[in-house]
Structure 1
């Protein structure tokens, strides 16, 4: 598998965020922070889990120390490591332990996205898994305060999952692949245009 550059990883993840997450309204809270430029896109290029864990610690501490108005959330993309979903899933325990070790439990939360993402009780090819299937393995750092505000503003947050399942079922595999083709094309255009300058 050819190496993925940081520029490509960011461009494709940003295009996926715009077309899939925001475009399909899979997360009603994503558009506002993206439009305001409060999403940090970070990339770990190392193939070693230990290096990813160290960069994750750095990103956690940086996010906690940064004004939310500047950076509200961070997407740590790691295309070269934990490409197997089972390995990734096991790493999430280390990520949660790291939050505790850094004294950031209750301050930040780690959400999981992966190209092979699979909800418990589903088969690998089930379309509903696509809601959490990012272009590359990724750890999403969220602020607990932002989650609390978002939940308070949304009358039935538990309904989001059910709505997303219906959205993906209606879209189907062909629709999802057509969407993927659009975000990949957008990513190629973005790379050809040069750096956006606002990670």
Structure 2
């Protein structure tokens, strides 16, 4: 159920609203690994992260992995703690420059923006998610993107066009599946 909700969110919001113009290719080619993590401790989450990096290291057919936390890290501050430690461990494990993390959470807030801003929804998902990306893939895609700096700005404009109410309804429906 949780993975299905994330797939629908990915298809309808991330790809459907073109928040990530690169996601369609890996989704259409079934190169995304979706992993549900039902554990709720930091140690277990980090173990899952490490296992998924090892999977990416050994399986060239997988371009990226989404670790979905179906029961843990519902508090945004706890999630940010996980993200901080996870990024530090990427460095410690020797994966700096090879992998990076993108973050999504139901209560995602961009620093410096009003809490009511629709732009937060560009990084809101039905469940907390750590998205592992290969840096070489990101660099390759960005090299072929004419204006990568505009992605963030375009996402903000689109989010405001859709509005908070639209996003709330969508995310609520995904969580009810």
Indicate the residue corresponding to 2:21 in structure 1: 28
| Runs (4+) off by over 4 Å | none
Indicate the residue corresponding to 2:2 in structure 1: 9
Distance 1:111 1:136 in 2: 14
CA drift of 1:176 comes to 2.2
CA RMSD of aligned residues (A): 1.6
Contact persistence 1:49–1:81 (CA under 8 A): no
- The match for 2:111 among 110, 120, 128 is 120
- The match for 1:82 among 57, 73, 94 is 73
User: Deviation string for 1:48-85 (max 9, x for gaps)?
Assistant: 11111111111112112221xx1100000012211111
Contact persistence 1:128–1:165 (CA under 8 A): yes
- The match for 1:44 among 26, 37, 49 is 37
Indicate the residue corresponding to 1:3 in structure 2: none
Contact persistence 2:125–2:171 (CA under 8 A): no
Indicate the residue corresponding to 2:163 in structure 1: 172
CA drift of 1:107 comes to 0.7
Indicate the residue corresponding to 2:94 in structure 1: 103
CA drift of 1:178 comes to 4.4
User: Deviation string for 1:152-196 (max 9, x for gaps)?
Assistant: 111111110000000011111233234446x639x84xxxxxxxx
TM-score under structure 1 length normalisation = 0.84
Distance 2:112 2:140 in 1: 30
